[in-house]
Amino acid sequence: MKTPIYLDNHATTPVDPRVLEVMLPYFTHKFGNAASRNHAFGWEAEEAVDRARQQVGALVGADAKEIIFTSGATESNNLAILGAAQFLGENGGHIITCRTEHKAVLDPARYLESKGFRVTWLGVDANGSISLEELERAMTPDTLLVSLMAANNEVGTLHPLEEIGKICADKNVLFHTDATQGVGHMNIDVARMNIGLLSMSAHKIYGPKGVGALYVRRRRKPRVKLSPLLHGGGHEWGLRSGTLNVPGIAGFGEAARLISAEGQAETQRILALRERLHQGITERLGHIKLNGHPTLRHPGNLNLSFAYVEGESLLMGMDDVAVSSGSACTSASLEPSYVLRALGVGDDLAHSSIRFGLGRFTTQQEIDHVIQRVTAVVNRLREMSPLYEMAQEGIDLSKVKWQQAH
């Protein structure tokens, strides 16, 4: 078994060797520009892009012509949200999103808010789930867009896309979903779910970094229209100008094809490993909290808080395992995750949270090693914690009156 062990697949996945094999010719002898339609080099590149469009579209039940290639999910989210707002709401309007969205959705929404748009920020319950009743109540006659993610990147909670889509369709409101963490891991059908816009990225499904896609509904009514963010050569039906990343797009297409064919079996295997990891840790350690929905969650996501342990210390203690912490260390402060705060997780537990992200290449041997490492490091850190000692003695720490140092 090689170390370090990679359990940060929500941040990025490794490129599948089969994907790389498809990409390599487009760096060398198949190097044409897909927009060069006067010779065989361009035709060859265009053929690769067309094939990838079909493969990526098939992953979410879309037509090939409804797929717009971008540089990644961040650009796709910006094009969806800003492009829809600019086209539909020249004089402002109302947008609904959620406090636990990725920053690539939150920041465009905040930008629109600064430009006069009204934004409703839905809250979530302790599992990270929205209230469908609250969503419906928030809608007004000037609501232009609802943007809610498929699967949360930190705690793995799944949003009920079909129910959200039905509410939006009944109210004639455009529905965008950031499905970056969801595609390939949950059954997504844009028609059945009444999705008008959907963002995704290749590097979350074992494809290359730097390429993503936006599904833009065309074949069903109401057809979605956007204002472009990038202007230039009129590529991608005028919605996203710029020379296409042919090797990346070819790789994205193959990654989509593979996960379409193998995703169901892969999901079951990853889910079994995740349950093994969760059970193995909880059998050996107490004072652990699962963050996110217990069942309606991404199959590879396990987000745990380890009470009386600081997350950064835990990360440093198990330096042979690549995971993410629930707090982001900056030069000035240690801020807990805004997602965990939205779930009502206290700062102490948020600081002690670890996100384990399992994936295609995770093995049972690696999981068993991680169980042992986490157990050993948490026990060692707790032995040094006076708070843990007090808790073991039955002292309710929430009722302790701490004296301030002078």
Query: If DSSP codes are grouped into helix, strand and coil, which group holds residue 240?
Result: coil
| Helix, strand, or coil (residue 205) | coil
Residue with tokens 């950064």: 312
| DSSP codes joined into one string, 40-63 | HHHHHHHHHHHHHHHHHHHHHT--
Asked whether the beta carbons of 163 and 296 are under 8 A apart, the reply is no
Collapsing DSSP to helix, strand or coil, 284 comes out as helix
- Beta-carbon contacts of residue 241 (< 8 Å; ≥ 6 apart): 228, 230, 231, 232, 233, 234, 235
Active-site hit among 329, 384, 395, 397: 329
Beta-sheet pairing, 174-178 with 197-201: parallel
Q: Partners of 143 in the beta sheet?
A: 94
- Torsion angle, CA of 242/243/244/248, rounded to 10 degrees? -110
Starting at the edge strand found earlier in the chain, the sheet holding 301-306 runs 288-291, 301-306, 353-357, 324-325
Residue 194: left if φ>0, alpha if ψ -120 to 50, beta else—which one? Answer: left
- Tell me the CA distances in angstroms from 22 to 50, 108, 123, 215, one per residue in order: 14, 34, 43, 23
Give the tokens for residue 196. 């008008």
Task: Say whether 329 is catalytic.
Answer: yes
Environment class of residue 10 by beta-carbon count within 10 Å: exposed (0-12), middle (13-18) or buried (19+)?
Answer: buried
Q: Which residues are catalytic?
A: 329
